[in-house]
Amino acid sequence: MIVHRGCAIPSGYSYDVPGDLWVRFEGDVARLGITDVAQTRMGKMVSIRFKRVGKHVAAGKSVATVESAKWVGPIHSPFDGEVLEINEEGFAEDMLIANKDPYEAGWISVVRPDDPSNAEAGLLTDDAAVEAYRTRIDELEISCIRCAD
């Protein structure tokens, strides 16, 4: 796990760096969530609306929209695919779950990519991901803050 300016960049994930999104491939499906940078930038979440299970989502279209105290915005899927699971239960139990634990308990959706062989295109992993994210964090001049439990 690399931590840069307080922002965690754990290994084992693929990253859409400009989209502040992480992807964890689990067999032929992918679990999506927001990064530490994303949760810091948006602030405490007050509401989330998920694309329903069974719906198809196109690359660049939203799997969810989130509302924080002073902002609304989408969370984009990096590839075409079908929504298989949504973290409805996690957010119902604790709306700040992604603010507290963005990489595990605060996951957003599980999507089955239409073309698994091409799903990683445009995503970065390992050293390339860390380097790109470090650069982004420096450019944004951001320091990450997590909500306390």
Partner 1 sequence: MTIRLLDFGQVGSLRSLAIFHGVGYAMREDTPDTITITRPSDPFVSIGHHQDARTEVDLDYCSEAGVPVYRREIGGGAVYLDEGQTFWHTIFHQSRVPTKLADVYTRFLAGPVLALNRMGIAAVHRPVNDIQVGGRKIGGTGAATVGESMIVAGSLMFDFNYELMVRVLRVPSEKFRDKMYSTMREYLTTINRQLGDDAPSREDGVRILMECFSETLGAELVLDEPRPDELAAIAEQEERIASEDWLHLDGLPASGDMVKIAEGVKVVEGVHKAPGGLVRATVAVRDGVVDGLVLSGDFFMEPAEALGELQDALVGVRHEPDAVLGIVKEQLGDVDAPGLDAADIVAAVMAMPQE
Binding site for partner 1 (CB under 8 A): 41-43, 46-52, 55, 65, 67-74, 86, 88, 91-92, 95, 140-142
Stretch (H or E) spanning 93: helix 88-93
CB of 71 to partner 1, least distance (A): 5
The least CB distance from residue 91 to partner 1, in Å, is: 5
**CA distance readout (Å), 134 to 9, 117, 128, 145:** 9, 27, 10, 16
Residue 123's CB is within 10 A of a number of other CB atoms, namely 21
Cα gap 41→25, rounded to integer Å: 25
Residue given tokens 């754990």 in the structure block: 10
Q: Are 64 and 51 in contact, with CB atoms under 8 Å apart? A: yes
Complex with partner 1: residue 43 or 116, whichever CB lies closer: 43
CB 102 to partner 1: min, Å = 17
The smaller minimum CB distance to partner 1, of residues 26 and 139, is found at 139
- Residue 8 or 120 having the CB closest to partner 1: 8
Q: Closer to partner 1 by CB, 83 or 123: give it.
A: 83
Cα separation of 85 and 89, whole Å? Answer: 11
* Two tokens, residue 98: 């992604």
Q: Which residue lies nearer to partner 1 by CB, 41 or 112?
A: 41
